[in-house]
Amino acid sequence: MEKSAFRCVECNKNALELHRDYSNGILKITLCDSCQKPVDKYIEYDPVIILIDAILCKTQAFRHILFNTSLNIHWKLCVFCLLCEAYLRWSVLHQGSEQSSDPADIIRYTKEWDFYGMFGLATLELVAFCGGVFCFLWLSVGLLGAGPQPLDHQQLLRALLLSCYGKVLLIPAVIWEHDYSPLCLGLIKLFVLTSNSQAIRVVLNSSRRLSLMAVIAGLLSETCMDLIFQKLSQNLPNLLTFW
């Protein structure tokens, strides 16, 4: 990571280094020139503590992960979460249906294609969400100058994908295959949106209102994509019959 990319986790000011390496392996954490606090206290913390603070949506933990680490698992995490979400939707769709072990059973292949359809729908919803967020921020920050910092599309996309880690909570539902409580799934969705809002706020160093409005814009875009997909699914048999 380039030195210019370091940020103080307390005041968000740029820093040249996180620590100094003296002789005999002695490390000393660098103090921020602005707030006189450690630039990044999390470099001494256990990863579990960092994860807990990230789950609690602490600004310092988000700054550490987004600015002071080279964590590049956002694409892998994104695909993994999409697979879990697709399997959850697919299992709900076919809940109570009879299972067949016959390799030549056409119903089995139909169910398999349904899973691919659910994965595609989850991917489209994520693309729509990110697109809605980007469009809103481009209008508010890029054109109107509502944010204190310019819009970094690559960093913002990385932050949005990493902040979707809350979807990993879908894993227990996938493993245990119990009835899926709408309240439980709603709470997971709310947690993911809260993390998205905090990630936007940290990347742009903006107000909480701006980040919340960006998340709402992304959620509206995602909902519109879901409604369009449902309409197409309902009208597809009629279109095939017409042709």
pLDDT, mean of residues 133-145 = 83
pLDDT, tens digit (0-9, with 9 covering 90-100), for 228-240: 877 777 765 554 4
In 3D space, the residue among 5, 72, 73, 75 whose CA is nearest the CA of residue 40 turns out to be 5
pLDDT in the model for residue 135:
93
Phi, psi of 14 (to 5 degrees): -65, 150
113: enclosing H helix or E strand: helix 106-137
Contacts of 66 by beta carbon, 8 Å cutoff, 6+ apart = 155, 158, 159, 162, 199, 202, 203
pLDDT in the model for residue 173:
67
pLDDT, mean of residues 151-166 = 91
Assess whether pLDDT exceeds 60 at residue 100.
no
pLDDT in the model for residue 1:
47
Q: Which of 49-58, 73-82, 104-113, 120-129 has the lowest mean pLDDT?
A: 104-113
In 3D space, the residue among 56, 31, 29 whose CA is nearest the CA of residue 43 turns out to be 29
Dist CA 60 CA 39 (whole Å)? 10
Assess whether pLDDT exceeds 70 at residue 148.
no
Question: What are the angstrom distances between the C-alpha of 229 and each of 80, 85, 106, 120, 221?
Answer: 22, 16, 24, 10, 12
* pTM: predicted TM-score of the whole model, two decimal places: 0.83
Residue 95: pLDDT band with limits 50, 70, 90: low
pLDDT, mean of residues 34-49 = 91
Residue 104 token pair:
């030549």
Dist CA 62 CA 55 (whole Å)? 10
pLDDT in the model for residue 91:
77
pLDDT, tens digit (0-9, with 9 covering 90-100), for 177-214: 555 567 778 888 999 999 999 999 999 988 899 999 99
Assess whether pLDDT exceeds 70 at residue 86.
yes
